[in-house]
Structure 1
């Protein structure tokens, strides 16, 4: 199966985790687009969605799915989103679509994070995918220097990208994220960092992994 077919497969499989009558947390990215398209087939059975990006909001609304502001919602049963990397403990690197901060906000509302991904995203140790960090522009050079001195990472500003919050994305290469929780705690304290794209405190509870043999379910 092609990567697009695997994405469609897990997007469809994620419908099983949608609680009828509830509000659904919806992430960002190409795999999530497949989920949104599948969600449209049961839009009359849900109360609406909370979205993590402008692009996802536009796609949900195009399907006639009501989108609620996160400030109007106190809790949601599930948040369904993809990942750039996920390890065997459910920790993830996210932010390839530059929506990591809003994704973390919606994930924080959710009782469970359901990750949908193709099998290429499952890794033993995260870091091969450049780690995204949302940074207030005036702090970008400081953050880049600090990654070099503290972690030996090679960081650079992602060209031509401004987040939905008006900030830049710094991508960090050359890392081995052996302790995701510790790195998330540390980097989030640096002045100017809005959030780092390590989802340790908001890890996946379930991963629906698209494989050539079908959908593989991982529970964490």
Structure 2
């Protein structure tokens, strides 16, 4: 079955497979959202089934919660768990300092809360997400529905003084209506093309009335695992400076692939 995966899905799979090697018995885990994180949830479920691994997951979205439940992963709320050992999630972009843009799946608020409530964050991704400077991927900003157009106008005004290449902003849609996040908010996507100072932008965006959170994850990620379509994985630890080249074999597993209804 693994041979039928596209190269990009193979890259996501091997990154996810390598990431769950970091999971130990008794851990409380943040479970990310998105296509790469979904592979991680499946790989984690396989370890639980085959090894009797005992963990508790805190999902970062209703989608991840549903998937985890369907695969038999015990889950709880962050309020119940209080603090987590590890969060594993994907990213839309990451730079050389492991700063991230996240929120392509509209789950950035819960993702950031869960990640910052963890001792460690591992990001699983493919090589295409690696950039010299963040900003090619639209930066999501979560805003409350009340007065969202005012919040958007204030964001556009703020961007005039920021080191960005472009300042176009758009409301994220779901068909003919505004997309609604799990927390009942809207997403405004900032099409900046290049962000010269992500740290500064992350701080000032959150000072705008109506802005709940933004998709810049600064100094949160500890390890990035980059998967490749040939099974190679690169593990980079920002804290130690270590970079490891590894390989994950494609072993067909009914436990992982038979569940897929997508």
> Does the 8 Å contact 1:208/1:218 carry over to 2?
yes
> What CA distance in whole angstroms lies between the structure 1 residues aligned with 2:46 and 2:59?
18
Runs (5+) with no aligned partner, structure 1:
none
**Residues 5-39 of structure 1 deviation map (CA, whole Å, 9 limit, x = unaligned):** 11111110111111221111111000000001100
Corresponding residue of 2:46: 41
Corresponding residue of 2:206: 188
> Does the 8 Å contact 1:22/1:76 carry over to 2?
yes
CA shift for structure 1 position 206: 0.3
Q: TM-score under structure 1 normalisation? A: 0.95
Corresponding residue of 1:92: 100
Matches within 5 A, 1:1-220: 2-43=7-48, 44-152=52-160, 153-160=167-174, 161-201=179-219, 203-212=220-229, 214-220=232-238
> What CA distance in whole angstroms lies between the structure 2 residues aligned with 1:45 and 1:154?
47
**Residues 126-169 of structure 1 deviation map (CA, whole Å, 9 limit, x = unaligned):** 00000001100123212322232222411111012110001111
Q: Secondary structure of the residue that 1:76 maps to in structure 2?
A: coil
Bigger share in strand: 1
> Does the 8 Å contact 1:151/1:175 carry over to 2?
no
Q: Secondary structure of the residue that 1:50 maps to in structure 2?
A: strand
> What CA distance in whole angstroms lies between the structure 2 residues aligned with 1:8 and 1:114?
15
Q: State which drifts further: 94-103 or 66-75.
A: 66-75
Q: Secondary structure of the residue that 1:110 maps to in structure 2?
A: coil
> What CA distance in whole angstroms lies between the structure 2 residues aligned with 1:59 and 1:39?
12
CA shift for structure 1 position 212: 4.4
Q: TM-score under structure 2 normalisation? A: 0.80
Displaced runs of 4+ in structure 1, greater than 3 A?
none
Q: Secondary structure of the residue that 2:38 maps to in structure 1?
A: helix
Runs (5+) with no aligned partner, structure 2:
1-5, 161-166, 239-262
Q: Which of 1 and 2 has greater Rg?
A: 2
CA shift for structure 1 position 58: 0.4
